[in-house]
Amino acid sequence: MRLKNLLITGLIFCSICSFGQEGKITINRDVRIDTLLQLKGEILKEDMGFQIQIFSGNRESAFTVIAEARALYVSHEVTVQYQTPNYKVWIGKFQDRLSADRFLIEVKKTYPNAFVLKPINR
């Protein structure tokens, strides 16, 4: 049994060594890849990231909420979006979900129904 295990281990070791490669690998890359990477970077910059929705309802109430939110959260952008049939008030443009969730804790003190969303680019 011990001799059998030793023999199997030896065969595995030899097979691994015999299929190894030695030398330098050269990768030929199409020059259009750099252009695509640059375009992807620009698209990601335009990405809205995460936002916090604090209101969804009629126009008059939306503009009242915007005025309140702009006074409370001066350091964050407050916008209104019309999505039939409601006006939606969004705060901020956060690059990652973690920072949006952290700010959501503060926002929920004033707007308990607020939640984080990732808007779809149109």
Token readout for 94 is 């956060």
CATH number for the domain running over 53-117:
3.30.70
Type of residue at 16: I
Look at phi and psi of residue 113 and say left if phi exceeds 0, alpha if psi is from -120 to 50, else beta. Answer: alpha
Q: Provide, rounded to the nearest whole percent, the portion of the chain with pLDDT above 90.
A: 51
Segments in the chain forming alpha helices (H): 2-18, 32-46, 59-72, 97-107
Q: Is the pLDDT of residue 108 over 90?
A: yes
Q: Is the pLDDT of residue 81 over 80?
A: yes
> CB 69: neighbour CB atoms within 10 A?
23
Residue 117: phi and psi, rounded to 5, are: -140, 160
Is this model's pTM higher than 0.75 or not? no
